[in-house]
Amino acid sequence: MPDETSDVLYDVAIVGCGAAGVQAALYAINMNLSYVVLERSHHCGSFFDKYPRRGDLISFNKPNTPPPLDTWNDAQRLDYKLKFDWHSMLNTNNDTDRFPTYTNKFYPRAEVFTKYIDDVVERNGLNAVFNASVECVSDVRDGRWGDYRGIKVSDEA
């Protein structure tokens, strides 16, 4: 926890620092939301420590794609690149955060993907807390329209 003696209120608490958790954190940043990513393991993507059993991802990686058209704008070029890139996180700060820069294997190894996720977390300075098991989640009511403001993250029971 950031400060073990105080409770911290976040707009978003993300459970798990796998690909979906990291992507959710990047979206939270883009939406100017306060967030924390809570991961039970000591590193990102711990699911891939055990699965897939053979070690190769079943989604393919295409680092070498035909070049985009010269008449396309930057958004169209990025969209075209991502059409062939099923592993990269969206809305990252730069092009070095693209997965095809890590390997050119068509079916990449799981450990390469976890290294990629770890690097995205580090390069983007995501607020991730490791070795943190989520045992209880309780809502804090905002009082307007029955919505919830956020959750309180605490080490208290």
User: Within a domain: residue 48?
Assistant: yes
Per-residue pLDDT tens, the chain, 157 aa: give them: 444 434 777 888 899 999 999 999 999 999 999 999 999 999 999 998 888 888 888 888 877 777 778 888 888 877 787 777 778 887 765 666 788 888 888 889 999 999 999 999 999 999 999 998 887 766 666 554 444 445 455 554 4
Cα distance between residue 81 and residue 92, in whole Å: 14
Q: Is residue 1 part of a domain?
A: no
37 sits in the region (left: phi over 0; alpha: psi -120 to 50; else beta) called beta
Quick one: pLDDT at residue 4? 46
Is residue 3 a part of any domain in this protein? no
Residue-level pLDDT at 139: 62
Query: What is the residue whose two structure tokens read 């000591």?
Result: 42
Q: What is the reported pLDDT for 14?
A: 93
The Cα–Cα gap between 39 and 25 comes to 13
Residue 40 lies in a domain: yes
Residue 133's pLDDT is: 84
Strand spans (E) along the chain? 8-10, 12-15, 35-38, 128-129, 139-141, 148-153
- CATH code for the domain of 43: 3.50.50.60
Residue 31 in any domain: the answer is yes
Does any domain span residue 2?
no
Predicted TM-score (pTM) of this structure: 0.76
Structure tokens at 15: 């459970």
Torsion from C-alpha of 54, 57, 58, 59, nearest 10 degrees: -170
Structural domain of 25 = 8-153
Q: Does 149 reside within a domain?
A: yes
CA angle 11, 120, 20 (to 5 degrees): 55
Q: Which helix (H) or strand (E) holds 155?
A: none
Structural domains of the chain, count: 1
59, part of any domain: yes
